[in-house]
A and B are shown apart, each in its own frame.
Chain A
Amino acid sequence: MVGRRPWEIASEKLIELVIRICGISAVLFVFGIFFFVFREGSDLLFHRFNFKEFFTSIEWYPTSQSHVRYGVLALIAGSASVTALAMAIAVPFGLGAAIFISEFCGPKLKETLKITIELLAAIPSVVWGFIGLTVMNPMIITLFHAPIGLNVLNAGIILALMSVPIIVSIAEDALKAVPDSYREAALALGATRWQVVYRVLLPAAKNGLLAAVLLGVGRAVGETMAVLMATGHAVKIPSSVLDSVRTLTATIAAELGEASMHSDHYQILFIIGVLLFLITFAVNLTADLIVKGIRGK
Chain B
Amino acid sequence: MHPLHQEATATAVMNLKLMKQTTQRAGWGVGIRLTAAVLAVVAVGLLVTGCKRSDSSQGPGGKQDIQNTGSDTMVNLAQAWAEEYAKVDPAVSVEVSGGGSGTGIAALINGTVDIANCSRKMEPEEMAKAKQNTGKDPQEFMVGYDGLAIYVHQNNPIGEITLEQLAEIYREGGKITKWSELGVQLPGGASDEIVRVSRQSNSGTYQYFREAILGKGHDFKLGSVDQNGSKDVVELVSKTPGAIGYSGMGYATPEVKVLPVAKKSGDKACAPTVDSVLNGTYPISRPLFMYTLGQPAGSIAKYMDWIHSPAGQKIVAQSGYVPLPEGGAKTETRK
Closest chain-B Cβ to A216's Cβ sits at a distance in Å of: 11
Evaluate contact between A29 and B38: CB separation under 8 angstroms: yes
B-contact 0/1 string along A230-248, CB 8 Å cutoff: 0011111000000010100
A21 on the B face (CB < 8 A): yes
> Considering the chains assembled together, what is the distance between the CA atoms of A274 and B12 in angstroms?
22
Q: B201 and A255: CB pair below 8 A?
A: yes
Q: Mark A58-82, 1 if CB is under 8 A from B, else 0.
A: 1111111111000000100000000
Which residues of A have CB within 8 Å of B102?
A: 258
Is A152 an interface residue when CB atoms closer than 8 A count as contact?
A: no
A260:B109 contact, CB within 8 angstroms:
yes
Are A258 and B106 in contact, CB atoms less than 8 angstroms apart? yes
Q: Do A146 and B201 contact each other (CB < 8 Å), given the known contacts A141-B241, A234-B224, A260-B106?
A: no
7 further contact pairs, Cβ within 8 A, besides A66-B217, A288-B13: A24-B19, A28-B35, A148-B240, A148-B242, A150-B236, A208-B9, A288-B9
Say yes or no: A291-B227 contact (C-beta < 8 A), given A65-B217, A147-B191.
Answer: no
How far is A61 from B10 in the complex, measured between Cα atoms in Å?
Answer: 43
Interface residues of B, Cβ cutoff 8 Å to A: 5-10, 12-13, 15, 18-19, 22-23, 26, 30-31, 34-35, 38-39, 42, 99-100, 102-103, 106, 109-110, 129, 189-191, 193, 195, 200-202, 207, 210-211, 216-219, 222-228, 236, 239-243
Asked whether, in the complex, the Cβ of B13 is within 8 Å of the Cβ of A291, the reply is yes
Given contacts A147-B193, A170-B8, is CB(A32)–CB(B42) below 8 Å? yes
A287 is an interface residue with CB less than 8 A from chain B:
yes
Given A208-B8, A234-B224, A234-B225, A21 and B39 contact (CB-CB distance below 8 Å): no
Which residue of A23, A61, A244 contacts B22 across the interface (Cβ within 8 Å)?
Answer: A23
In whole angstroms, what is the CA distance A202 to B115 when docked?
Answer: 62
Chain B residue contacts of A145, Cβ below 8 A? 189-191
Which residues of B lie under 8 Å from residue A148 when comparing CB positions? 195, 225, 240, 242-243
| A210-252 interface (Cβ within 8 A of B) | 210-212, 214-215, 228, 232-236, 244, 246
In the complex, A26 Cα to B236 Cα: how many Å? 42
User: Does the CB pair B223–A254 fall under 8 Å?
Assistant: no
Task: List residues 253-297 of chain A with CB under 8 A from any CB of chain B.
Answer: 254-255, 257-261, 287-288, 291-292
Q: Which residues of A contact B201 (CB under 8 A)?
A: 62-63, 255, 258
Is there an interface contact between B226 and A207, defined as CB atoms closer than 8 Å? no
Q: Per a CB cutoff under 8 Å, which of B23, B109, B129 touches A24?
A: B23
Cβ-defined contact, A27 with B19, below 8 A: yes
Known: A24-B22, A236-B223. A137 touches B129 (CB 8 A): no
The 3 tightest CB contacts between A and B, nearest first, are: A258-B202, A177-B6, A208-B7
Query: Please, how many angstroms separate the alpha-carbon atoms of A210 and B222 in the complex?
Result: 37
Residue from the list B19, B100, B207, B243 in contact with A23, Cβ < 8 A? B19
Q: Which residues of B contact A60 (CB under 8 A)?
A: 222
Chain A window 116-146, contacts with chain B (Cβ cutoff 8 Å), 1 for yes, 0 for no: 0000000000000000000001100100011
Query: Which residues of B are found within 8 Å of A26, using beta-carbon distances?
Result: 15, 19
Enumerate chain B residues within 8 angstroms of A23, measured Cβ to Cβ.
Answer: 15, 18-19, 22
Residues of B within 8 A of A32 (CB): 38-39, 42
Given contacts A20-B26, A258-B102, contact A174 B6 (CB under 8 A): yes
* Contact status A66-B34, CB under 8 Å: no
Please report the C-alpha to C-alpha distance between residue A61 and residue B200 in the assembled complex, in whole angstroms.
11
A137 nearest CB neighbor, chain B only:
B239
A187 to B178, CA, bound (A): 64
Q: How far is the CA of A191 from the CA of B224 in the complex (A)?
A: 57
CA distance A177 to B11 in the complex (A): 13
